[in-house]
């Protein structure tokens, strides 16, 4: 069975006065129906730009998708007109944003904003849309959904607003849900609730979910597969258990090392150095300047994506050598 | 709704001392300015006998100390007695009420024009930002902002009345015209066109600039991205989601400018001989008809207070985060 969503070689650049920011560079991944894919990476590595590229919402200017394909079924979304894209947004692909405090329009009630989502894509009466909205508010576990319907966003807490955003995204039963750091702005306890909710709804709706986060801790409980991004590129992809059990890329290892874990007394190890500028990229691997395992070759050549086993991908010369040393098949 | 009603009542009560404060300040300022009614009468009637002048002053109470005059005046206001205009041989109240409708018509039509033209121009400029349309709107707005409104009025007169003969030069009615209701409305409308545009275009220029900036600012906010992510078309995003939020600063500005617009109407009414309180107050100042000047200013300040309250109510409707207190 072919995957629900196929992203091939997606490349999105931002043409700023300082230079061309290569926010997303040759990114490829598949998303199956009924799975949760985590997109992980430090701040500024191009996660949001990836999401906006899939939605066709890259801010232009300065941004533009300069290459690649985004296949939903047999349609390449990047070839669709703006008008055709509008029929897909919020309908087949929906998105939840990072900032619940500012992502809802302050002058309309939350109910009306959900109703609007329903009416944009469904030929139903206002009454039916209203019923659907109440149903959705209930679905995202908002207490007293009928009462909350007429509330303005400023009356709701951050967690409640994010639930409303989720309800809005689910309004038309999308095939793909992109959640861009949906819990980063929330308190820790609320974070867990919202993530649980997302996990449950994923099963209920049978959606493919792309969960974007910079926090590997979030990934463990909810994701099926993980794509690790660094400086606009995919550096590693693996089933979630493999990522935690045997991370291959030094960057992934670094991310895991800097992750607080219960029962672990040792000091957290930060990855040394800073994220490189996405404007003047060095010819070699972009992680090389921060990498303990970097070799001469790493500074000259960009490592290709090597497939390891049948489910893992890594882009790192050192990792390739290690894996080959263990006698596993490496396919570049 | 009940809470709104209470808030409105409280605001009106709070306005009472403000209005009295304004009255006191204007009263004192007017008394500081040289010359009084009697001086003007003396000049006009060629009276030069100081004794006669003193007698007249005593008759009108002008010989009393200022604070006594002020106290008397306030006392009279409380009884809705604004004094007597000897020029018109009518109570000030009657003179003003007779002239008020003309000014209210001129002001409300000018304001509506300013909001509509300015708002629309601003929206168009923001949607077509950095295109020829945008630049054209900016240039026109700067012209109307920079040109004095009386000059625009005069130029309109030259063009539309003198050269093209399309519109009546001045006044509010054609003497000896059609006296049916429809005929009269049509007549007033034709007279209204030039003064209301002359007064309104300056404000339209301001609103166009503010609206454009406000639309552009709002269009970069997160919830606009959310609206797009729902699959809404650009028109709906602009006219529903952006516009509703972008209106807020325009409404604020509108409230702040009501007073200056009232002042601006004095000039325009004089240029077009529009029979409103603007022309009235102009004559009244020249003839040192202080009771009338005071009366007009009192009406003006009450008008501004009420209009500001109305603006606040509108604001509250537009922005649910605001509550009237
Ligand atoms: N409007 C813009 N103009 C210029 N550069 C931008 C713009 N938006 C994003 N960038 C740059 O593009 C790169 C990718 O940004 P993106 O928002 O996708 O990062 P992210 O991975 O989502 O980070 P975060 O975790 O902070 O949300 C960053 O280096 C950022 O500085
Ligand atoms: Mg982001």
Q: State pLDDT tens for residues A89-145.
A: 999 999 999 888 899 999 999 999 999 999 999 999 999 999 999 999 998 889 999
Last residue of a domain, one of A158, A173, A188: A173
Write down the pLDDT at residue A28. 92
Cβ–ligand 1 contact at A16 (below 6 Å):
yes
Given the structure tokens 């992109």, which residue do they identify?
Answer: A178
CA A162 → CA A95, A97, B22, distances in Å? 12, 8, 50
Q: Which DSSP letter does residue B203 get?
A: H
Question: Length of chain B, please?
Answer: 325
Per-residue pLDDT of B24-51, as tens digits, reads 888 888 877 777 767 777 777 777 777 8
Cβ distance A106 to B320 less than 8 Å, yes or no, reads: yes
CA-based nearest residue to A40, from A190, A184, A211: A211
CA of A49, closest atom in ligand 1 = 18
Nearest CA in chain B to A61: B220
Given the structure tokens 């296949």, which residue do they identify?
Answer: A71
Cβ distance A103 to B230 less than 8 Å, yes or no, reads: no
Cβ distance B228 to A89 less than 8 Å, yes or no, reads: yes
Q: Is the pLDDT of residue A265 over 60?
A: no
CA-based nearest residue to A10, from A41, A56, A60: A56
Question: Length of chain A, please?
Answer: 332
**Are B60 and B136 found together in one domain?**
no
Report the pLDDT averaged over residues B175-183.
Answer: 75
Domains of chain B: total: 2
Pick from A22, A48, A216 the residue to mutate for probing ligand 1's pocket: most ligand atoms within 8 Å of its CB.
A48
Q: Please tell me which residue, B11 or A224, carries the higher pLDDT value.
A: A224
Residues facing A229 on adjacent strands: A234
Report CA(A106)–ligand 1 centroid distance (Å).
25
**Are A126 and A162 found together in one domain?**
yes
Cβ–ligand 1 contact at A105 (below 6 Å):
no
Report the pLDDT averaged over residues B55-68.
Answer: 78
Q: Which domain holds residue A113?
A: 101-173
Could you tell me where the beta strands, DSSP code E, fall in A135-282? 176-180, 208-213, 225-230, 233-239
Write down the pLDDT at residue A116. 94
Write down the pLDDT at residue A79. 92
Report the pLDDT averaged over residues A304-319.
Answer: 84
Categorize the per-residue pLDDT at B211 as very low, low, confident or very high, splitting at 50, 70 and 90.
Answer: very high
**Are A6 and A142 found together in one domain?**
no
Q: For the residues of B28-46, what is the DSSP string, one character each?
A: HHHHHSS--HHHHHHHHHT
> In chain A, what percentage of residues exceed pLDDT 90?
47
Per-chain mean pLDDT for chain B: 86
Cα(B82)–Cα(B101) distance, integer angstroms: 18
**Are B231 and B271 found together in one domain?**
yes
Instruction: Give the side-chain half-sphere CA count within 13 A for A17.
Output: 0
Cβ distance B318 to A107 less than 8 Å, yes or no, reads: yes
Report CA(A307)–ligand 1 centroid distance (Å).
28
CA-based nearest residue to A229, from A211, A208, A202, A207: A211
Q: Do the domain assignments include residue B282?
A: yes
Spatial contact of B169 and B106, defined as CB atoms under 8 Å apart: no
Cβ distance A105 to B245 less than 8 Å, yes or no, reads: yes
Q: Do the domain assignments include residue A293?
A: no
* Number of CB atoms found within 10 A of residue B256's CB: 11
Q: Is the pLDDT of residue A20 over 80?
A: yes
* Number of CB atoms found within 10 A of residue B252's CB: 14
Last residue of a domain, one of A173, A189, A208: A173
CA-based nearest residue to A219, from A40, A46, A33, A50: A40
Q: Is the pLDDT of residue A86 over 90?
A: yes
Beta-carbon contacts of residue A112 (< 8 Å; ≥ 6 apart): none
Report the pLDDT averaged over residues A170-198.
Answer: 87
Domains of chain A: total: 2
CB burial of residue A330 (10 Å; 0-12, 13-18, 19+):
middle
Residues facing A239 on adjacent strands: A225
Write down the pLDDT at residue A331. 66
Report the pLDDT averaged over residues A322-332.
Answer: 70
**Are B131 and B68 found together in one domain?**
no
Spatial contact of B70 and B27, defined as CB atoms under 8 Å apart: yes
Cα(B205)–Cα(A127) distance, integer angstroms: 42
**Are B137 and B81 found together in one domain?**
no
CA of A46, closest atom in ligand 1 = 18
Write down the pLDDT at residue A137. 93
Q: Do the domain assignments include residue B308?
A: no
Given the structure tokens 């992934």, which residue do they identify?
Answer: A252
Tokens of A277: 């500028």
Nearest CA in chain B to A52: B229
Q: Is the pLDDT of residue A262 over 70?
A: no
**Residue A50: nearest ligand to its CA?**
1
Q: Do the domain assignments include residue B137?
A: yes
Q: Do the domain assignments include residue B276?
A: yes
Q: Is the pLDDT of residue A267 over 60?
A: no
Write down the pLDDT at residue B49. 78
Could you tell me where the beta strands, DSSP code E, fall in chain A? 5-16, 19-31, 36-40, 63-72, 75-76, 93-96, 176-180, 208-213, 225-230, 233-239, 306-308, 312-314, 330-331
Q: Do the domain assignments include residue B147?
A: yes
Our CA-based measurement puts residue A81 at a distance from the nearest CA of chain B, in whole angstroms, of 12
Last residue of a domain, one of A154, A173, A192: A173
Name the residue among A102, A106, A120 with its Cβ closest to that of B231: A120
**Are A169 and A180 found together in one domain?**
no
Write down the pLDDT at residue A264. 56
**Are A190 and A69 found together in one domain?**
yes
Report the pLDDT averaged over residues B299-310.
Answer: 85
Write down the pLDDT at residue A7. 94
Q: Please tell me which residue, A121 or A221, carries the higher pLDDT value.
A: A121
Per-residue pLDDT of B113-154, as tens digits, reads 999 999 999 999 999 888 999 999 999 999 999 988 889 888
Tokens of B68: 């006594």
CA angle A211, A217, A218 (to 5 degrees): 30
Write down the pLDDT at residue B203. 92
Write down the pLDDT at residue A304. 86
Cα(B193)–Cα(B214) distance, integer angstroms: 29
**Residue A213: nearest ligand to its CA?**
1
Q: Which domain holds residue B220?
A: 107-286
**Are A144 and A198 found together in one domain?**
no
> In chain B, what percentage of residues exceed pLDDT 90?
27
Cβ–ligand 1 contact at A46 (below 6 Å):
yes
**Are A192 and A237 found together in one domain?**
yes
CA angle A311, A317, A320 (to 5 degrees): 40
Report the pLDDT averaged over residues A219-227.
Answer: 90
Given the structure tokens 């537009």, which residue do they identify?
Answer: B318
Spatial contact of B254 and B318, defined as CB atoms under 8 Å apart: no
Pick from A13, A41, A47, A279 the residue to mutate for probing ligand 1's pocket: most ligand atoms within 8 Å of its CB.
A47
**Range name among A268-272, A281-285, B106-110, B132-136 with the lowest pLDDT average:** A268-272
Beta-carbon contacts of residue A244 (< 8 Å; ≥ 6 apart): A220, A256
Cα(B111)–Cα(B29) distance, integer angstroms: 30
Tokens of B65: 């100390």
Q: Do the domain assignments include residue B36?
A: yes
**Are B158 and B265 found together in one domain?**
yes
Cα(A133)–Cα(A119) distance, integer angstroms: 10
Write down the pLDDT at residue B231. 92
**Are A80 and A191 found together in one domain?**
yes
Write down the pLDDT at residue A39. 95
**Are A86 and A232 found together in one domain?**
yes
Cα(B125)–Cα(B204) distance, integer angstroms: 13
Name the residue among A86, A106, A108 with its Cβ closest to that of B233: A86
**Are A19 and A137 found together in one domain?**
no
Nearest CA in chain A to B319: A107
**Are A14 and A130 found together in one domain?**
no
Per-residue pLDDT of B220-247, as tens digits, reads 999 999 999 999 988 899 999 999 999 9
Could you tell me where the beta strands, DSSP code E, fall in chain B? 84-85, 90-91
Tokens of A236: 């590693």
Contacts of B225 in chain A (CB under 8 A): 57, 97, 103
Report the pLDDT averaged over residues A297-325.
Answer: 83
**Are B80 and B137 found together in one domain?**
no
CB burial of residue A233 (10 Å; 0-12, 13-18, 19+):
buried
Closest residue CA from atom 30 of ligand 1: A44
Closest residue CA from atom 6 of ligand 1: A14
Q: Is the pLDDT of residue A261 over 80?
A: no
Name the residue among A89, A108, A165 with its Cβ closest to that of B231: A89
Q: Do the domain assignments include residue A298?
A: no
**Range name among A274-278, B204-208, B212-216 with the lowest pLDDT average:** A274-278
Cβ distance A102 to B223 less than 8 Å, yes or no, reads: yes
Write down the pLDDT at residue B284. 87
Cβ distance A89 to B233 less than 8 Å, yes or no, reads: no
Tokens of A66: 């300069």
Cα(A132)–Cα(A206) distance, integer angstroms: 19
Closest residue CA from atom 14 of ligand 1: A46
Q: Do the domain assignments include residue B119?
A: yes
Write down the pLDDT at residue B298. 87
Write down the pLDDT at residue B177. 66
**Are B27 and B164 found together in one domain?**
no
Q: For the residues of A189-216, what is the DSSP string, one character each?
A: HHHHHHHHHHHHHHHHHT-EEEEEES-H
């Amino acid at each position: 069975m072919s995957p629900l969503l196929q992203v091939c070689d997606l490349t999105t650049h931002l043409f700023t006065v300082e230079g061309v920011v290569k926010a997303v560079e040759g990114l490829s991944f598949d998303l199956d129906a009924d799975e949760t894919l985590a997109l992980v990476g430090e701040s500024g590595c191009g996660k949001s730009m990836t999401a906006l590229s899939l939605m066709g919402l890259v801010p232009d200017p300065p941004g533009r998708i300069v290459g690649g394909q985004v296949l939903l079924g047999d349609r390449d979304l990047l070839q669709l007109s703006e008008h055709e894209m509008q029929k897909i947004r919020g309908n087949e692909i929906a998105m939840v944003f990072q900032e619940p405090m500012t992502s809802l329009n302050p002058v309309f009630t939350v109910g009306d904003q959900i109703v609007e989502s329903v009416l944009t894509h469904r030929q139903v009466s206002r009454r039916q849309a209203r019923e659907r909205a109440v149903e959705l508010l209930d679905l995202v576990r908002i207490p007293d959904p009928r009462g909350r319907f007429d509330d303005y966003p400023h009356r709701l807490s951050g967690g409640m607003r994010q639930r409303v955003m989720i309800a809005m995204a689910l309004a038309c039963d999308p095939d793909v849900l992109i959640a861009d750091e949906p819990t980063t702005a929330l308190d820790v306890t609320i974070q867990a609730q919202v993530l649980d909710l997302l996990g449950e709804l994923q099963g209920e709706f049978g959606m493919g979910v792309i969960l974007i986060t910079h926090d590997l801790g979030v990934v463990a409980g909810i994701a099926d597969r993980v794509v690790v991004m660094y400086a606009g590129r995919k550096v590693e992809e693996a089933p979630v258990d493999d990522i935690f059990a045997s991370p291959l890329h030094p960057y992934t290892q670094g991310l895991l090392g800097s992750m607080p874990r219960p029962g672990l007394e040792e000091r957290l190890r930060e990855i040394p150095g800073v994220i490189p500028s996405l404007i003047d990229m060095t010819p070699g691997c972009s992680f090389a300047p921060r990498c303990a395992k970097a070799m001469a070759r790493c500074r000259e050549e960009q490592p290709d994506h090597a497939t390891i086993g049948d489910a893992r991908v890594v882009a790192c010369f050192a990792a390739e050598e290690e894996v080959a040393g263990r006698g596993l098949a490496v396919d570049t | 709704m009940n809470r709104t009603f209470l808030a409105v009542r409280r605001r009106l009560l709070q306005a009472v001392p403000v209005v009295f404060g304004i009255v006191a300040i204007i009263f004192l300022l007017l008394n500081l300015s040289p010359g009084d009614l009697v001086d003007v009468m003396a000049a006009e009637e060629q009276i030069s006998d100081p004794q006669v002048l003193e007698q007249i002053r005593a008759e009108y109470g002008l010989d009393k100390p200022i604070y006594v005059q002020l106290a008397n005046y306030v006392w009279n206001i409380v009884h809705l007695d604004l004094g007597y205009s000897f020029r018109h041989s009518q109570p000030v109240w009657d003179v003003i009420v007779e002239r008020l409708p003309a000014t209210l018509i001129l002001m409300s039509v000018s304001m509506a024009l300013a909001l509509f033209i300015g708002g629309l121009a601003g929206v168009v400029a923001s949607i077509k930002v950095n295109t020829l349309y945008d630049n054209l709107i900016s240039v026109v707005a700067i012209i109307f902002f920079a040109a004095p409104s009386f000059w625009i009025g005069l130029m309109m007169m030259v063009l539309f009345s003198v050269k093209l003969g399309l519109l009546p030069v001045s006044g509010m009615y054609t003497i000896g015209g059609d006296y049916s209701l429809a005929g009269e409305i049509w007549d007033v409308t034709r007279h209204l066109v030039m003064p209301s545009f002359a007064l309104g275009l300056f404000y339209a220029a301001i609103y166009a600039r503010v609206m454009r900036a406000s639309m552009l600012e709002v269009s970069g906010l997160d919830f606009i991205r959310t609206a797009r992510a729902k699959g809404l078309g650009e028109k709906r995003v602009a006219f529903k989601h952006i516009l509703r939020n972008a209106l807020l600063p325009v409404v604020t500005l509108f409230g702040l400018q009501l007073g200056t617009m009232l002042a601006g109407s004095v000039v325009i009414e004089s240029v077009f001989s529009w029979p409103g309180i603007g022309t009235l107050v102009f004559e009244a100042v020249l003839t040192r008809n202080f009771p009338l000047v005071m009366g007009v200013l009192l009406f003006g300040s009450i008008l501004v207070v009420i209009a500001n309250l109305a603006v606040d109510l509108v604001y509250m409707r537009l922005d649910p985060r605001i509550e009237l207190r």
